[in-house]
Structures are given as C-alpha cells and as structure tokens.
Structure 1
Amino acid sequence: MTRTAISVDHIARVEGHGNVHLSIKDGAVETCEMNVVEPARLFESMVVGRKFADVPYIASRVCGICSASHVITDILAIERIFGVEVTDRTRALRELLVYGSYLQNHASHLFVFAAPDFLDMASVFPLAKANPELFDQALGLKSLGNQLCNLVGGRSIHPITAVVGGFTHEPTRDEYLAMADKLDAEREFARAVVDLFNGFTVPDIATQGDMMAMVAEGRYPVADSRWARFLDAGVTFDADRACEQVEEYEVPHSAALFARCRQTGKTYFTGALARINASWGALSQEAKVAAAKAGLRPPERNPFLNNVAQAVEVLDALGRCADLCRKLAEPDGPFEGGSAPVPFEVRAGVGTGFTEAPRGTVFHQLELDDAGRVVHATIMTPTAQNCANLEADMRVLAEKLIADGAEAPEVRAEVEKLVRAYDPCFSCSVH
C-alpha cells in the first residue's frame, strides 16, 4: 500500500486564506478537501437592528472588489420589501456600476492571479518585467473599472451615490461621452486578452456539478432580473425563493458553508462561465465572435475556461457600457424617468435582492420591521456557493492526473491552478 499526502497551505494569489488537502492511496484519491480557514466575519449579525438606509453600506464591506454588487443587492432587497419601482434610467446606472466592478475584478484576476500560472511565473512581478507593455495595459483596464465605479457610484470601492429608489448624483453629459470613448479604446486590448488566455493549455476536465446564473429573455442580465436558473436541472426560480432552492450546509473541514441545489442534491458552479452558458445568445456580436474563435460556446463545462469566460465578459462589458453611456448622454434618450430617488414608504416585510457579482450570483435576504430596521439577514456569496463544486472538481482533476501518471508536484500545481481559475474570495465566503 502506498499513500501520498498533498497539502497546499495558504493558496497563493487568491483573496483570503484557503488550504487544500489531498490523500492518495494506491493511486486513487481517498480524500479531497477545500479548507477555508478564514474566521467568521458576522456581517449578517452586524446589520441586525440597523436602519435600512445603513445596511447596503455595511454589507458592501463584505468585499472590496464586489462592493458595488453588494450595495445594489441590498438595495434591491429593501425595494422588494417597500414595493419600490425604479426608473429605467436608474436601472441603467446600476448596470454601469456593477459592470465597473467586473472590469476591476476580471482585470485583476486574469493578470495578477491567473496569468502567472500559465507563464511559469511565481507572481505578477516577473510578468511586469518581462512584458511591461502588457502589464501596463492590464493595469489600465483595471483603472478604467475604477473610473467607471467612481463616475457612477461616487467612489471606486464602496459606492455612496446608489440609494433606495435611485441615485443621489448622476454624471454630466460630457462625463458620459468621455467615459464611452475610454471604454471603446480598450476593446482592441480586450480582444487580445481573449486570444491570450485561449492560448494557454489547460487540463481537459468537465465539472460534474450544475451551473447557476441569472437569466432574462433576450438579455445578458447582471442586476435587473429576478430569475435564477440551475442550468442542468432546468429549475428556474424567483430570487425570493433562493433559500428554498439553495441548500447551505456545514462541513467539518471548512469555516465557510458549502452549497448545493436542494432539488437535485448536486453541487454547482456560479460565475462567468455559468453566465456565458446561460446567456450566450445575448452576448454582443463582438464578444460572441471572440468567444467562438476561442472555442468557448455552450455547453462548456471545463472550469479552467472560467478564465477565458471572464476575458469574454470584459470585451462584452466594454461595448455594452460604452453604448449605455452614450444613450444616457442623449437629451431625449431611451431611458424613461430621472435617476433621483423615487418616493417610498417604509414597511415591514421580507425580500431578497439578487445580482451577478463578478465572481457569480449573490443573494441578500432581509427581514425588516415596521420602522425599517433589520430583524434578520442572510447573505449568499459566490465563493460560498462555489466551494463544494470546487472541492468536487479538484477530485476529478486529481483523479485524471494520477491516471495519466502525474507525480505529486504536478498534481499540486494543477490543483492550485484550478482553485485560482474559480476566482475565489475566501474572505467573502465566511461573510
């Protein structure tokens, strides 16, 4: 009998702290564990007793990168309870704000965290030396995401202008047009990024879990649909039923809750790859061509290609946001109503907000009393939902590599790459 232990303590180039432990006995994977070792952060308890207006800006601190998504998700939950209907213009601004965080996150993940894996580099710093032009372009893309969040949200992280019912400030016509030009200028680089990541060799595996994403007929939704779908199960549900459809459960080796589809018992993946599988037809023509050229089209189940999916989303977001900015700049544009907060009445109730954060679906369920104070809160972050599926995919990958004759160092290296391809935020997973 031969036994090999493979341990990765504090996986590098991810947000937060996570460990991987594999035990291989006689050429077979005996145990495979994704250990999230972050302490509990207690945001769900932190907001109890707070007034509704404070909650989005507390919850945004769950994540510095996805802060815009957490703000908008909480606002949507509150509006669900109060029965608030916002204008088309407010919806467009929210989409711009969320997409700003996509540009921030995807540029950081692709070049700082993921690219070194495929260039035989230990970190991004050798890349900066070896190809300073590429590195500067990547930083410029991330900076553009910061600028978009700052323009719409008032700050590059933890935005302050988005409130229940609308926005407290809106950019000027000239600011919209200047931003549109900047977004368009990045599209050539974004096409090159898709080609770059498509050129990297990855193991040929397929996730055994389901996928889940926001869906809307004829659109690529990120912040304005109530509907989520488990793609394999064919289960589509309103966000208010998220806690009925998603089963969170404890495992002894992780501080984060794991998740699975309650109806099927299957783990699932959420993120860019799931979104492209769910809404391929609604991608821009430019993004669809780039994705097809990269061989990325539904059904695609290789989790390593989440990197390529993020690159495709960057290209899609640049064109989409440039178009939105130009339409918002038109005096008689297509978006009805203003962006100033609409009037509403505070009342008790339960509601769930739902957006597609850069890393995947995020749900916030709030219960408010008659004074608009939080009685109970539940948050489901993308990484917490992904942990169980990541663990299952690590086992699939390890079994394939071992069957192909790989030694322990190669197994370890490829498993680390897989973890990073998921773009996890272990700090957010313990929220």
Structure 2
Amino acid sequence: MAAVKTLNPKAEVARAQAALAVNISAARGLQDVLRTNLGPKGTMKMLVSGAGDIKLTKDGNVLLHEMQIQHPTASLIAKVATAQDDITGDGTTSNVLIIGELLKQADLYISEGLHPRIITEGFEAAKEKALQFLEQVKVSKEMDRETLIDVARTSLRTKVHAELADVLTEAVVDSILAIKKQDEPIDLFMVEIMEMKHKSETDTSLIRGLVLDHGARHPDMKKRVEDAYILTCNVSLEYEKTEVNSGFFYKSAEEREKLVKAERKFIEDRVKKIIELKKKVCGDSDKGFVVINQKGEEKFTFIEKCNNPRSVTLLIKGPNKHTLTQIKDAIRDGLRAVKNAIDDGCVVPGAGAVEVAMAEALVKYKPSVKGRAQLGVQAFADALLIIPKVLAQNSGFDLQETLVKVQAEHSESGQLVGVDLNTGKEDAAV
C-alpha cells in the first residue's frame, strides 16, 4: 500500500473490510434504484440528461446505459446486466436485484466472522444445484402461436401498460413467425422497426413487407401501385458533392454550362441503365415499375402484400418521441424473448414461482454440503427470494406475508406457486 501512495500521493486506499463494505454498499445502492422497476406493476423512471433531454423507461438495460455510474463495482454489475441483455434480451433488472441480494446476504455472515472464500464455495455449490433444478422444472412444449403469445405478453407487460402490451404481443409473435425458416436460425435483423410520430401507440401494427421512411421523389409519381416490380438500389439519383471541401472556378459562362451538362449527363446515364434493366426484367407486362430511392424525408413508402415475405416491419406509432422510444425498447425485448423460446423449446413459470421452488430445493440440498459452505448455500437460497418479495411489494402487498403464503402453498402442494399480482394471493404458476 505504501508503494501505491508513493506513486500517487492522492490515491485513496481501502483495506479488506472497508473495501468490502464499499463494494457491497454500491451493489445495494444499484439494487435500490432498480427494485421499483421489476414486474408489470413496476414504476417508470424519468432520466434527465445534462442537456435537458428526457427519457421515460422501466427497462433496466436502458437505465444502466443512461445513468452515469462512477463506482467501479456498480459499473461492473451494470456490465453484467448489459451482457445479460445481449444474450437473452431481458432480465436485466432481475439480474441486478439478485446480485445485490447475494452480496447483502453474504455480508450478514461476513459480519459474523465468516471468510468470504467460504461464502463463494457455498455460492458455487448452490449455483450447480440451481442449474440442475432448472433442468428439472423447465416445461418442454411445442412452440405454437398461443404459447409464444404467452411468452411475449409476459415480457412486454413488464415494459409497457397492459392494453398496449396486448396490442404489441400479436405483432411481435407474428413478425417472428413470418421470418422463421425451417431448420435455420432466426435472424432478428429481418424484422425492421420503423417509427412514425402519428396517432396513438395502440395503432402500432405489423406490416408484412417493408416501410421506408420517404415518399415519392417527384410530385407526378403514382401514390399507389399494385402488383408492381420494385427495384431497390443503394445509389443516389442526385448529383453528389465530394466528401472533401472542393470548389470550381469558371473562366466563362460557357464553361459553367458545360459543367451543368456534365452533371445532368451523369444522372441521365444512371436513369437510362435503370430503364434498360426494366425492359429486360419486366418485358411487355402491364405491371408497374417502382424505383425506391434511399433518400427522402417525412413521407413513408409502404411495400405490402408480398408473397412469402422474409422481411417484415413493425411500424411503431405514437404521439411523441418518448412513447416511440419506450415502445421500441419493449419490442426489442419481446422479440428476443420469443426467439429464445423457439430456440430453447421450453419455458419456466414466472411470478417468482421458480425462485421460491429453487430456494426450497437449495435448503433441502444444504445438509449434503460439507462444512461452513452450507452458509453460502443458505445465503444463495435467501437471495433468490428477492424476486417474489419485490414483485409483491411493487404490487402494493405486504412482502413478508405474501412470501410466507407462497412458500406454504408450495410446500403443501408440491407445485410451482407464484404471486398473483392482482390479488396478492398465492397461485399455481402456468
């Protein structure tokens, strides 16, 4: 430590117990911020940037990205949650809550003199047992449309209000089913998310085709074409300026006219090539021919009623930017949830049912662990109960009373029992 002070006199050095206390405090602080977000009854957070920009969200991943976290331990936990979002697309808030609770439970034993190494041994043993338990309770099902709708609804209702979630659910599931190919991995990049500041959020819909954020390039172009040939191109039909600053100097008006003609010829040559391609591709049919250019503003072009569309568009509508951003974040999580369900071919019940059952299984497993590592297993089991506790608390019910009822019902029935967030009573999870 003296060497650190020699190299940097301003360095702050925290020794064993003090460093541990600071790290646990940071984790619990992050937990306190996010715990009110969990579940469909969770609350929104308003984030205000230094420039005054406002963002409303209850998505844990968005909050962790937008908050300016300076503490290294809290920053590390945020990165873990971000990795969780990258892999599964959801569960970031639950992740942070469980991490914070693991450290909180561990601190209770460490304060009594138990070495952290013993706690981690118990955590490792509990983790292996928990993974085995998950394999036992998972429900393998055929991922038909109804099952996927239940999965999507569960995810979306934790991000937006119930009425909007029900509207988005079918659109999300149908978009995945539209791009799904037999025996091929699902590519979510084939689902385009387009924003339109128009009408209300419940007008969000699935377009089985493409929606482009620009309209016609000329006022005389047709506003509607059916059974059309469509050319999509990534070249501009306007004269483009150079990427570096440059200028032209004319000696006479004739030279300027020559330059204008050269610019016009540059575009006309491209148009002629498109016309020649039309003759080759379209022949003498009566079908329309549409050129969709990549540039434009405000107006939208819809390409619908395609045969066997392999790319679809979720058209998000809303009265303001805040609503559009919130729906977009929710849809991304919903898409990932449905994709994961199809890839895994199985589901587990929600409402804290798995956590309650897993905690009981770990308590029964504890006597088989040798020595003081049993305390680490007990701490792991107690930490898992943070999920049903917070779900009940955010729904306005007494967390201890609710948890006791759920645990008692699970012990008596042997079934997976969760928290009914509408009544606060225990209910068999489906």
TM over 0.5: no
TM-score by length of 1: 0.23
Structure with bigger gyration radius: 2
Which is richer in helix?
2
* TM-score between the two structures when normalised by the length of structure 2: 0.23
Structure richer in strand, relative to its length: 1
The structure, 1 or 2, with the larger RCO (C-alpha pairs under 8 Å, 6+ apart) is 1
